[in-house]
């Protein structure tokens, strides 16, 4: 999964010398939470709804409403924007985008190609990618189990369930919180007239505990 396939290509931006009032209105109007800040065609910063809230006078201020409005019109985006912007390439993976956002505690990354802003990828886009790659919206059975960390072990699991009118939706594996020598497999699959209880029983005999979740009734 590449960033360019999941990013938003239509990016709402703000100019660095626009007012805070204009930035706030732009966020509300477009129902978004962050704005890349431009100086002409060059990306020079990013500003979020949190940045703007922290910059705005609080309700406890001694300023009257006219003074507050004057201050919001006087202050510029460049005064509150984050100048050190973390960006990503459109050819980077969605996974690397997720790592960058997680490790830097940010909710979005401007996407830069040839020094030009070509998109933005946010946590919502990451969630969409996760939902799609796991097939989480597709009515199916979800099983998770521990298998030996050896070549061909995933194929063995697939071979077992394939005997029961198995149609694979997704397969994920992880070593997270798993003992050495094992790996966890999370598989979603659909079945025809096969017996899901029988499938679970066969898997348990070979691998031990199997967690089965019936998601066949969910709406797409």
CATH at residue 202: 3.30.70.260
Residues 114 and 51 in one domain: yes
120 and 186 part of one domain: no
Where among 99, 130, 161 does a domain terminate? Answer: 130
Band of pLDDT at residue 67, cut at 50, 70 and 90: very low
The residues facing 108 across adjacent strands are 122
Q: Judge whether 220 lies within some domain.
A: no
| Structural domains of the chain, count | 2
User: Measured on CA atoms in the order 134, 137, 138, 139, is the torsion positive or negative?
Assistant: positive
- Give me the phi and psi of 18, to 5 degrees please: -75, 160
Confidence (pLDDT) at 70: 53
**Above 50 in pLDDT, residue 61?**
no
Work out the mean pLDDT of the chain and round it to a whole number: 89
pLDDT tens, residue by residue, 109-120: 999 999 999 999
Can you tell me the distance from the alpha carbon of 120 to that of 4, in angstroms, rounded to the nearest whole number?
A: 9
Domain endpoint, select from 74, 108, 130 = 130
pLDDT at 121: 97
Cβ pair 77, 37 in contact under 8 A? yes
Residue 120 C-beta-side C-alpha neighbours within 13 Å: 21
Q: How confident is the model at residue 125 (pLDDT cuts 50, 70, 90)?
A: very high
Q: Does residue 76 sit in the same domain as residue 20?
A: yes
Same domain, 15 and 97: yes
- Per-residue model confidence (pLDDT) at position 53: 78
- Judgement on whether residues 151 and 75 belong to the same structural domain of the protein: no
Quote the pLDDT of residue 60: 37
Q: How confident is the model at residue 69 (pLDDT cuts 50, 70, 90)?
A: low
Structural domain boundaries enclosing 22: 3-130
Helix crossing, 196-207 with 153-162: angle to 10°?
Answer: 150
Per-residue pLDDT at 86? 97
Please tell me what DSSP assigns to residue 91.
T
pLDDT in tens, 154-192: 999 998 888 888 889 999 999 999 999 999 999 999 988
Instruction: Provide, rounded to the nearest whole percent, the portion of the chain with pLDDT above 70.
Output: 90
144 pLDDT more than 70: yes
Q: Are strands 14-15 and 34-39 parallel, antiparallel or unpaired?
A: parallel
E strand segments, the chain: 14-15, 34-39, 42-48, 108-113, 116-122, 140-148, 166-174, 182-191, 210-215
């Amino acid at each position: 999964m590449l960033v360019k396939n999941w990013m938003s290509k239509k990016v709402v931006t703000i100019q660095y010398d626009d007012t805070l009032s204009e930035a706030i209105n732009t966020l509300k109007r477009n129902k978004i939470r962050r704005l890349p800040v431009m100086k002409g065609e060059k990306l020079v910063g990013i500003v979020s709804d949190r940045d703007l809230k922290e910059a705005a006078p609080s309700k406890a201020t001694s300023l009257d409403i006219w003074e507050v409005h004057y201050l919001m019109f006087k202050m510029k985006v460049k005064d509150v924007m984050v100048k050190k912007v973390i960006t990503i390439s459109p050819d980077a993976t969605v996974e690397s985008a997720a790592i960058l956002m997680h490790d830097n505690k940010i909710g979005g990354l401007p996407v830069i190609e040839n020094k030009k802003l070509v998109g933005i990828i946010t946590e919502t886009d990451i969630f969409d990618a996760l939902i799609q790659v796991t097939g989480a919206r597709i009515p199916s059975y979800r099983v998770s189990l521990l298998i030996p960390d050896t070549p061909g072990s995933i194929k063995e699991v697939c071979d077992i369930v394939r005997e029961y009118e198995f149609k694979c939706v997704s397969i994920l594996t992880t070593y997270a919180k798993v003992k050495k020598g094992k790996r966890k497999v999370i598989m979603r699959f659909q079945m025809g007239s096969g017996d899901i209880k029988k499938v679970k029983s066969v898997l348990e005999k070979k691998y031990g505990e199997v967690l089965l979740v019936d998601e066949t009734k969910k709406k797409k």
